[in-house]
Amino acid sequence: MKLISKFNLVLFLSLCTQVMGQTEAVNLDQFIGDWHGEGHFYNVNLSAEVGLVRFTLRVTPDMEITGSVGNAEFVDAEIEIDDWNDGYKIQGTIVGPIFPNSEFHKKRMTLLLKEVQDDITIGDFHLASNFIFDFSMRPGEITLRRNP
């Protein structure tokens, strides 16, 4: 009997946690618009080698997302609430070279963003070869500002 009670308690707490997280979710509409910004890699040597990374982002009212990272475009991007990082996640495919005349190539981009405040959002970016697990992933910090 105690096993069933413990199971029910764990199940109840799990459901409560999921429901509480959903009620705190903020609308994705705050990201609608045109954005620009820059970031830098956390790896100091890579950051010194390639410099700042420029970003653009366009989110339409239909949640269609386009943009660029460096000289490359990103396509097939989607935005969602990211409960794991207490924010928002945009993932997309990178097309083209990010840095001209560089051996640095990545196929996937993830932006982990926080709430928009005063038309600014901050967060992290991950440039990777895939979305699952990548030892050569290159993370960094990003700041985006909404275009007036």
100 located within any domain: yes
What 8-state DSSP symbol labels residue 62? T
Question: In this model, does residue 16 exceed pLDDT 80?
Answer: no
Segment (H or E) for 13: helix 2-23
Put simply, whether the predicted model's pTM sits higher than 0.85 gets the answer no
Q: Is residue 16 part of a domain?
A: no
The domain of 139 spans 28-146
Residue 24: its pLDDT value, please? 41
Q: Is residue 126 part of a domain?
A: yes
Structure letter (DSSP) for residue 119: T
Backbone angles phi, psi at 31, to 5 degrees: -95, -5
pLDDT of 105 higher than 70: yes
Share of the chain above pLDDT 90, in %: 66
Distance CA(122)–CA(141), nearest Å, equals 8
- Report the number of secondary-structure helices (H) and strands (E) in the chain: 2, 8
Does residue 33 fall inside a structural domain?
Answer: yes
Q: Is residue 130 domain-resident?
A: yes
9, part of any domain: no
Using the predicted structure, report yes or no on whether residue 90 has a pLDDT greater than 90.
yes
Listed range (5-14, 34-43, 92-101) with the worst mean pLDDT: 5-14
**Are 125 and 111 contacting, i.e. CB atoms less than 8 angstroms apart?**
yes
pLDDT score at 23: 36
Separation between Cα atoms, residue 34 and residue 16, nearest integer Å:
37
Q: What is the CATH number of the domain that holds 48?
A: 2.40.128.120
Q: How many domains does the chain have?
A: 1
Mean pLDDT of the region 11-39: 69
Q: Is residue 7 part of a domain?
A: no
For residue 139, the cross-strand partners are 126
Taking the C-alpha atoms of residue 90 and residue 19, their distance in angstroms, rounded to an integer, is: 23
Task: Name the residue among 83, 81, 94, 88 with its Cα closest to residue 131.
Answer: 94
pLDDT tens-digit profile of 27-78? 899 999 999 999 999 999 999 999 999 999 999 999 999 999 999 999 999 9
* 34 located within any domain: yes
pLDDT mean across residues, the chain? 85
pLDDT for res 148: 85
